[in-house]
Amino acid sequence: MRDRAVPNLPSRDFDDTEAFYREFGFTVSFRDSRWMILLRGDIQLEFFPYLDLDPTTSSFMCSIRVGDLDELYTMIEGAGVPVADRGIPRLVPTAIQDWGQRVAFLIDRDGTQLSLIEDRG
């Protein structure tokens, strides 16, 4: 088995979180009342309940490296996530960052920022 790290992210409501991520290709691998695992290809996100989370002050974040950033971005936008500079949820457009990689940002319904980074291998 290869070594890997998996983000553990908050969810105020597993049903809402599952529905949100399902719109752009994630499926449930495991779910009970205390934990949920979502998969999309090799991407694995794990969620724990955080009922009192305030999405407007959340500082949770993770980076996701993807081979086809444009495909994922199009799926997220097509699912109805607004492209905007503020608001929850939102999708921040792809841009080349100071370090030279293309990145888009997804803010989910719980205020978690997912940095969607184009992986050039």
Type and span of the H or E element at 76:
helix 69-78
Mean per-residue pLDDT of the chain:
95
Burial class (CB in 10 A: 0-12, 13-18, 19+), 47: buried
Q: Where are the domains of the chain?
A: 8-118
pLDDT in tens, 52-67: 999 999 999 999 999 9
Which pairs count as long-range contacts for 71-74, CB under 8 Å and 24+ apart, including other chains? 72/24, 72/25, 72/116, 73/104, 73/116
CB atoms within 10 A of CB 92: 17
The mean pLDDT value for 89-106 works out to: 96
Class of domain 8-118: alpha beta
Q: What percent of the chain has pLDDT over 90?
A: 93
pTM of the full structure: 0.94
pLDDT in tens, 7-20: 999 999 999 999 99
Q: What is the pLDDT of residue 62?
A: 96
Q: What is the pLDDT of residue 2?
A: 75
